[in-house]
A and B are shown apart, each in its own frame.
Chain A
């Protein structure tokens, strides 16, 4: 496309202003992903015109709106701004699926070896990295509140940092620490006083200071995250 800088600036301005038809709007949004110049022009127009939003009088949302929003939030690990099509074309998705297949094989093998427990329902969680979406760990939970954390890939840990393992049930007010994780080694955890694992329960591994999170809550970036799925 042979487009002068002036045309680019005008396109950015009209995009932010809102006067472009839908097809042109969506085209600008697509181009912004790959064109830093267009993105910078759009950002500059957003900054210039933003004060105009003060002209809209506030309107109180209906009380039903927030619960509707909260009910439609997915855990961060499986969300993606790029949508399904980008997922589909993304090699990392296929790597993640390969990881999942491997994880499922490991779980099945374990189940066969642990037949005595087979009558009890169990849960499985595949912990996936939010950025690369590759499976990093598998968590298995049995009804007697024993967890096993099995690494699927090597996780490099910076000096003076530790990996910390967390879980949060649906109605819990905050995540509970399940302890520090030695990289590349399986870990067994007794859940102790924590409630029985439930479907959808969140598990994650974060990068924390060497001695673990100082606050009792996750403070560092999420390296792996996933939700419990009932497998038996």
Chain B
């Protein structure tokens, strides 16, 4: 998540949404719509589908604003979470279609396979997560980044990293356990 710019008050905006103030939702959209569309697009991989995801996520943010619980995490993080899970549910429910478009998928993979790790290195702003991911070996790290950022399933990670499915599952299991231990 990019650093929260210019002191935008996410809690106040969500509170105003819960009170029925549509302009508060619009302010959130103007503040982070492009970042959120970026997150959705990486996962669902199609521009029109990503915009549908953002649409549904914002309607959902509007509906759930009143139930947002600041005890459970920061408001901005919650908004990113809603968009990401909307994208993931969309991707997983479209999976058969995606397989039918295998050519597109192959093209995407060629674009990306080698760039995941490079992109990761470019990011110095991820703080503790950056350090802890840095302690993982590259197979585990790439599996985690591929899953989180690009919505890769187990079998997709296996294809991209050219590893057996069982190995990928073990990488993720051990990678998550190590991250959990490292980050607390």
Interface set of A (CB-CB < 8 Å, partner B): 9-10, 13-14, 16-22, 25-26, 29, 39, 43, 46-62, 65-66, 68-70, 72-76, 79-81, 130, 202, 204, 218, 221-222, 225
Contacts and interface: CB of A to CB of B under 8 A. Distances in A.
A68 B149 contact: no
B1 interface: yes
B148 A17 contact: yes
Contact of A19 (B59, B89, B123, B152): B152
A72 B55 contact: yes
Contacts of A70: 22, 25-26
Contact of B59 (A9, A52, A72): A72
A50 B149 contact: no
B172 A14 contact: yes
A62 to B, nearest CB: 6
A54 B180 contact: no
Contact of B127 (A19, A51, A69, A73): A51
B77 A46 contact: yes
Nearest to B151: A18
Interface of B is mostly: helix
A20 B39 CA distance: 18
B38 to A, nearest CB: 4
A130 B66 contact: yes
Interface string B109-147: 000000000011001011101100000000000001101
B148 A60 contact: no
B140 to A, nearest CB: 12
Nearest to B176: A13
A76 B72 contact: no
B123 A50 contact: no
A76 B126 CA distance: 36
A59 B38 contact: yes
A142 B67 CA distance: 36
B148 A10 contact: no
Interface residues of B, number: 70
Interface stretch (B6-14, B80-88, B99-107): B80-88
Contacts of A218: 19
A81 B58 contact: no
A29 B19 CA distance: 26
Nearest to B59: A72
A17 B59 contact: no
A60 B34 contact: yes
Nearest to A47: B73
In the A-B complex, the 8 residue pairs with the smallest Cβ-Cβ separation, listed nearest first, are A22-B92, A51-B126, A58-B34, A13-B176, A56-B38, A79-B63, A53-B1, A56-B42
Given A13-B180, A50-B1, A130-B66, A73 B25 contact: yes
Nearest to A23: B92
A75 B95 CA distance: 34
Given A59-B41, A69-B55, A69-B59, 4 more contacts: A10-B173, A18-B152, A25-B92, A53-B149
Contact of A9 (B51, B145, B180): B180
Contacts of B59: 69, 72-73
A55 B34 contact: no
A19 B154 contact: yes
B172 A54 contact: no
Contacts of A202: 20
B63 to A, nearest CB: 4
A101 to B, nearest CB: 26
B42 A50 contact: no
Contacts of B95: 21-22
A178 B12 CA distance: 25
Nearest to A39: B72
